[in-house]
Structure 1
C-alpha cells in the first residue's frame, strides 16, 4: 500500500517511514540512525515504567519481541503530522517459529525534531497479541534481558 504523505513535511515522512522500513527489515543498525541520543520508546499497554531510552537500549527492547520471530513485516497505513508530532496508523504481521501468525494493529506517535525521532509511543492491544502468540510467549519475555528498562514516568 502506498501512503499519501502530501500533508506531511517531507523530512518528517522520510524519518518516520525510513525507520519503519528498517525495523520491518530488522536492520537494527539503521533503526538506531533514526533515533535521537535521548529518544524515549514506550509500549503504552505496558506503560512508562518499562520504557527504553537511547538508540542502544531501544534496539535491545525491540529485539526482545521481534528478533526471535520467524517473520516480521510492517504494513503502512495512515501518516499524519503537525510538523513535529506524527501519528502513524499501521499493522504488523508476526510469525512465530512455532507457526503461529497474526496481525497486530498499531497507532504510533512519534515526535520528530531535527531529523531524529525523540519520542516513540506505540499503542496496541495486548489481548490481540496474546490471542495468537504461542502459550510460552509471556514466559519467554519474562526471561529476557531487562537492562534497557527506563522509568519515563513524568517525561512522556
Structure 2
C-alpha cells in the first residue's frame, strides 16, 4: 500500500491519540528518528520500539491523552503539523500543549519526527508526582542524535 506523506502523518497521529504503542510500527520506519526538541538531540529515540518507550515516559501514567488535529502543510516528503495535545493526569490536572511537529516521510512511513513545544508549560502545570516519576523513568530508549543533525 502506498501512502501519501499527509496520510502517513495523519495515520501516525491517530495511532498516537489512541496511545496504540504497538501500532506505531505501522507508521514509522524501522530507523525513524524521534527528537523532542526542547530536550535536545541527546535524548532522542530511534525506531518504533524505542519511540514507544519514550512516549510512555510522558503518557504512560496519564488518565487520558488526546491529540487535537490542526493545520498540516506538505511539501514533497516533508510535512509540518500544527496541533495540540491534552494531557489529563490521574490527580485531575489537565494541560493542553500547542505543538509544531516536523516530519519526513519515506515510502509511506515517517522517517524523521521532531516535536517543538514549550517544555516549561508541562513542568509548571503537571502534578509533582508526575515530574518526580521522570527521575526513575525507563531510559533504555535514549539515542544521542547530535551527530545526525
- Deviations along 1:77-125, one digit per CA (max 9) or x if unpaired, are 1100111111000000000011110101100000001101110000000
Normalising by structure 1, what TM-score? 0.91
Match of 2:53 among 41, 54, 60: 60
Structure 1 gaps of 5+ residues are: 1-9
Determine if the alignment matches structure 1 residue 75 to structure 2 residue 68: yes
Counterpart in the other structure of 2:144: 151
Moved over 2 A (4+): none
Matching residue of 2:135? 142
| Counterpart check, 1:118 vs 2:111 | yes
Q: How many aligned residue pairs are there?
A: 147
Equivalent positions of 1:2-81 (< 5 A) are: 11-81=4-74
Distance 2:61 2:76 in 1: 35
- Stretches of structure 2 lacking an aligned partner (at least 5 in a row): none
| SS of equivalent residue, structure 2 residue 57 | helix
- The structure whose residues are more often helix, as a share, is 2
Q: Is the 8 A contact 2:5 2:78 kept in 1?
A: no
Mapped partners of 2:110, 2:90: distance in 1: 31
RMSD between aligned alpha carbons? Answer: 1.0
Q: Distance in 2 between matches of 1:110 and 1:89?
A: 11
1:87 aligns with 2:86: no
Shift of 1:63: 0.9
